[in-house]
Amino acid sequence: MSTATAEPIAATQLSQLDQLKKLTVVVADTGDFESIREFKPRDATTNPSLIFAAVGKPQYMPILEKAIVDRKNSGLTGAKQLDDIMDYVLVAFGKEILDIVPGRVSTETDARLSFDVQGTLDKAHQLIGLYEKMGISRDRVLIKIASTWEGIKAAAQLEKEGIHCNLTLLFSLPQAVLCAESNIQLVSPFVGRIYDWFKAANKREYTGAEDPGVSSVTTIYNYYKKFGHKTEVMGASFRNVGQITELAGCDLLTISPDLLAKLAASNEPVEKKLDPEAAKAMPIDRLALDEKTFRFLFNDDQMATEKTAEGIRKFSADIVKLEKLIAGKL
């Protein structure tokens, strides 16, 4: 009894970040090595937008330039050469991150392959092959793939091969359920982008548990725990600290450096909000999905279809920007 009483007092002496780390695996959502060193997350995630932002900084340009020098005489030309150098850049960033974090790095496939099962498989095999050539075992890498029907099908095959995946651009329960039933390692529901959509659509603010992004992750987490799915839930794309603390207890949370800094600077108490045992007791109906049902339910969710499409477009655009940067240096 005395221990339980003393715990909140002790917790307030820790930063919110340190309190959160006791409840949830904290992941850095960045390609900035210095931020990763500062906040000491277990894992880190990257995407084309983060890598493009990173190579724009002088301290990270040498990674891009080395990949160009190393692969300039590969014998490949045109689009194939750009694609090859891009893969080396992504894996080079991943390797540098894995020299810092004790856990895993998420490396994203080309978003332009989001509706191409075989193309996604080929790209994942290429990325994992490069990591393994650098002496990095595949259990330290998560291949990030968009949560389309085709992306999930490709990820299911990769998981059977021992290549673990992080299904990103996830905005709905049908996407999450299909991932779990496909034995995907991890999903990344996007809290902030869901919040953005509902805030714009309804012209109102959301806070606390009523935040639609928070509610979406909570629903997915509870569903997984209720039905014993092993897929990890990693809340992503946060807009404020409140969204993060409302999901304390989630399997993982991937957080940008600016919000990690705010958590580290605050000593406000952090309470556990998500709990597997509580989820198991909830009255939740199982969702049965075949391809037709998945596509209909996903299409019926205006927010999910719009945000998934928008995310694929934006990531694809940043890949094109990175390719142009590489082409200019070639």
How do residues 221-233 score in pLDDT, each as one tens digit? 999 999 999 999 9
Q: pLDDT tier at 275 (50, 70, 90 boundaries)?
A: very high
Query: What whole-number distance in Å separates Cα of residue 97 and Cα of residue 103?
Result: 10
pLDDT on residue 244:
98
Torsion angle in degrees (nearest 10) through CA of 65, 71, 76, 80: -50
Q: What is the pLDDT of residues 53-81, one digit of tens each?
A: 888 889 999 999 999 999 988 888 889 99
* Residue 327 CB-half CA count within 13 A: 12
Contact 41, 27 (CB under 8 A): yes
Using alpha carbons only, what angle is made at residue 95 by residues 90 and 98, rounded to the nearest 5 degrees? Answer: 125
Active site residue 144: yes
Q: Is 146 helix (H, G, I), strand (E, B) or coil?
A: strand
Q: Residue 162 in contact with residue 140, Cβ under 8 Å? A: no
Q: What angle do the packed helices 291-300 and 173-181 form, to 10 degrees?
A: 150
The catalytic residue among 21, 123, 144, 226 is: 144
pLDDT of res. 97:
95
Domains of the chain: 14-329 (3.20.20.70)
Asked if 259 and 27 touch (Cβ cutoff 8 Å), the reply is no
- pLDDT above 50: residue 3: no
For the stretch 293-326, pLDDT in tens is 999 999 999 999 999 999 999 999 999 999 998 8
Contact (CB, 8 A) for 270 and 248: yes
Q: Which residue type sits at 293? A: T
Using CB atoms within 10 Å of the CB of residue 328, give its burial: 0 to 12 exposed, 13 to 18 middle, 19+ buried: exposed
Other beta carbons within 10 Å of 77: 8
Please determine, for residue 86, whether its predicted confidence score (pLDDT) is greater than 50.
yes
pLDDT single digits (tens) 143-183: 999 999 999 999 999 999 999 999 999 999 999 999 999 99
CA–CA distance, 23 with 9 (Å, rounded to integer): 16
Cβ distance 267 to 16 under 8 Å? yes
| CA–CA separation, 19 and 264 (whole Å) | 10
- Contact of 40 with 296, CB cutoff 8 Å: no
DSSP state, residue 136 = -
